[in-house]
Chains A and B, each alone.
Chain A
Amino acid sequence: MITTRALTKRFGHVEAVCSVGLEVREGDRYGLLGPNGSGKTTLVRMLLGLVYATSGEITVLGQRIPRHAGRALPDIGALIEEPAAYPHLSGRANLRLLDAAGPGGSRRTRRARIEEALERVGLAGIDRRPVKAYSLGMRQRLGLAAALVRRPRLLVLDEPGNGLDPRGIKDIRDLLIELNSAGVTVFLSSHLLGEVSALCTRVGVLDHGRLVLQESLAELQKPTGRVLVETQDAERALALLDGHVERRDGPHLVVRDPDPAGLNARLVGEGVRVASIAQQRRTLEEVVLEVTGAGSDQFGGGGGTSPPSPPRSPSPSTPSPSPRGTGHEVPGA
């Protein structure tokens, strides 16, 4: 659906995007991760023909961008940074105008399509009040509705969760999963790890304009071959598993063992009281931190404007439950 080759964009001497080879396959829910300033927005804009690449190639829906952007764009629904609308017009009028402005939106089906899109984003009952009276969340939903009006094959969403409350984020996520299962490819960029890991099937990580990682989420989160054990009898377990314990932190042990069930049976068999036992999987956060430079807590900050966040331990011995629903910010973002 989206392929870029050696895509580079320079603004003057600043390299915003550097030799990016993006690949989004049909049916993907692709999440592009990166803090603000990492080149996400520039990359998204290049995909939509708004910003022209300095070098490299872009193919979207089989069309070369920007040369044949006019052929690809009618099938793409886009949300680019914040949503925007004419503030003195109602939400419906805004959708009508945008739909009438370009090709690929039949006039006969316009009203039905607009109502359908509004219903999907939860604005079905919206009245005629002008957009300037909308809350931030309503605007975000309206922007999403605008992207859905033409029933696109590809959704390109830049920070779709902005301004939404947890309930709203959940709604949007469910909507995107539903659309995806109906065949819509979803490409979203975000600086929120949680949003991406909860929604996406494939992940790309952008750091200082470079695509440092592009992998399916399942592959990233496969077991590490270690087991996390919590037990009051830590000393005994330590003695029992001599040589296999990689770390100990009070009652918490990290044991090198590919088989948690077997380990559990062995510990219980030896009379060690196991409070909890789990296979260790890497979290997305850990992966991201790893690929963006070990020991760096300034992901993409580059000495920039982002305030330094408190240091975190990247150690795998402090397992963080996979965050769901709430946004865990990438450090330094």
Chain B
Amino acid sequence: MIGVELFKLFRRPRTWITAGLICALPLIVAIFVATTHLVPPPGQGSAFLSAVLQDGQLYPAAALALVLPVFLPVAVAIVAGDSIAGEATGGTLRYLLARPVGRTRLLVAKLIAVIAFVLFAIVAVTLTSYATGVLILGPSRAAAVGESPGSGISGSIAPGAGGAPTAGLSAGGAVTSLSGAPLTVLQLAERVIGTVAFITVSMLGVAAIALFLSTVTDSAIGAAMGALATLVGSEVLVTLNAAAVVQPYLPTRYWLAWIDFFRQPILWRDIDRGFGIQAVYVVVFLGAAWANFATKDITA
């Protein structure tokens, strides 16, 4: 069943168009940034966008920050919202269940297909944006600010030693973490993988909500919109000081925590909580989807 769902997912033109659009946004941004060299001031705007001018290798992180707030959740909500409701509208749901496919099995297979889609989209963004970053924005460049020859330090501080200011570059394509310390290629790969895992899990919460709504309504768009409305509501509350009491339990509260992978050392607190809260949302909404779908009359 899982194989069938994956086949359906990847034989569907929509999957490829969506992934292509998600990958296109960072590409467009990269082209503008590379031609104009205009980026938001550091610490404002999209994360890492100011850093990529100095190092194209960080562009996957910037690209993920670009697609995470809107593109990715919308795509995931559409795919997950379509999963049951779309089959119901197309009439294929009744044939699948009469085939027979167990209802719980179908739900799990659908969730796994959504996970596959999220992973596919994120990995596609990561790979294309890495290529974009290196090809269009170029590899590491020396910073334009504060470079004072002779006084530079690299590696570790050895007072009075004052090594070559560009020694950090010799570490072989290393990049700079948010905390200033260099990251080796291996560390960077680890952290990008961690980021991909974290964003995938973050999207699973969205997927679970959309999947649940997809079992409630026969309208795929309705389910997707419902999930997005939940996210928008959550985003509003996250920025509202008065809602501080409920903030730790909102699905989008820890969405940005993947940035903590790029601190040195990694700040695990929010990442752990992000994983935890998404696990709770997945369990709760899958449970609700199971309770609803497994006892529902299929009349579509």
Residues of A that sit less than 8 Å from B by CB: 11, 42, 45, 48-52, 69-70, 73-74, 76, 78, 80-89, 93, 97-98, 100-103, 146
30 contacts between A and B (CB under 8 A): A45-B94, A48-B94, A49-B100, A50-B97, A51-B297, A51-B298, A70-B102, A73-B98, A73-B100, A74-B99, A78-B98, A82-B91, A83-B91, A84-B95, A85-B92, A86-B8, A86-B90, A88-B11, A88-B12, A89-B11, A93-B11, A97-B4, A97-B7, A98-B95, A101-B1, A101-B96, A101-B101, A102-B1, A102-B100, A146-B95
Which residues in chain B, 1-31, are within 8 Å of chain A measured between CB atoms? 1, 3-4, 7-8, 11-13
Report the nearest B residue to A53, measured CB to CB: B297
- A89 / chain B contacts, CB cutoff of 8 Å: 11
- A83 / chain B contacts, CB cutoff of 8 Å: 91
Residue B299 at the chain A interface, CB threshold 8 Å: yes
Residue B295 at the chain A interface, CB threshold 8 Å: yes
Please tell me the number of chain B residues within 8 Å of chain A, measured between CB atoms: 24
By the criterion CB–CB under 8 Å, are B90 and A74 in contact? no
Residues of B that sit less than 8 Å from A by CB: 1, 3-4, 7-8, 11-13, 90-92, 94-102, 295, 297-299
By the criterion CB–CB under 8 Å, are B8 and A50 in contact? no
- B4 / chain A contacts, CB cutoff of 8 Å: 97, 100-101
By the criterion CB–CB under 8 Å, are B94 and A80 in contact? yes
By the criterion CB–CB under 8 Å, are B100 and A84 in contact? no
By the criterion CB–CB under 8 Å, are B299 and A51 in contact? yes
Report the nearest A residue to B295, measured CB to CB: A52
Q: Given contacts A49-B100, A69-B100, is CB(A80)–CB(B299) below 8 Å?
A: no
CA distance A297 to B267 in the complex (A): 77
CA distance A89 to B9 in the complex (A): 12
Known: A50-B298, A78-B95, A102-B1. 16 other contacts (CB 8 A): A45-B94, A45-B297, A49-B100, A69-B100, A73-B98, A73-B99, A74-B99, A74-B100, A76-B98, A84-B94, A89-B11, A97-B8, A100-B3, A101-B4, A101-B96, A102-B101
- A93 / chain B contacts, CB cutoff of 8 Å: 11
What's the minimum C-beta distance from B109 to chain A, rounded to whole angstroms? 9
- B98 / chain A contacts, CB cutoff of 8 Å: 48-50, 73, 76, 78, 80
What's the minimum C-beta distance from B15 to chain A, rounded to whole angstroms? 11
- A87 / chain B contacts, CB cutoff of 8 Å: 90
- A85 / chain B contacts, CB cutoff of 8 Å: 92
- A146 / chain B contacts, CB cutoff of 8 Å: 95
CA distance A83 to B94 in the complex (A): 10
- A82 / chain B contacts, CB cutoff of 8 Å: 91
- B100 / chain A contacts, CB cutoff of 8 Å: 49, 69-70, 73-74, 102-103
What's the minimum C-beta distance from A75 to chain B, rounded to whole angstroms? 11
- B8 / chain A contacts, CB cutoff of 8 Å: 86, 97
- A52 / chain B contacts, CB cutoff of 8 Å: 295, 297
- B90 / chain A contacts, CB cutoff of 8 Å: 84, 86-87
What's the minimum C-beta distance from B247 to chain A, rounded to whole angstroms? 40
By the criterion CB–CB under 8 Å, are B102 and A45 in contact? no
Q: A81 contacts which of B3, B7, B91 (Cβ < 8 Å)?
A: B91
CA distance A265 to B15 in the complex (A): 79
CA distance A115 to B128 in the complex (A): 42
Q: Which 7 A-B pairs have the closest CB atoms?
A: A84-B91, A102-B99, A73-B100, A50-B298, A51-B297, A48-B98, A84-B92
CA distance A84 to B92 in the complex (A): 5
What's the minimum C-beta distance from B100 to chain A, rounded to whole angstroms? 4
By the criterion CB–CB under 8 Å, are B299 and A101 in contact? no
- A98 / chain B contacts, CB cutoff of 8 Å: 95-96, 99
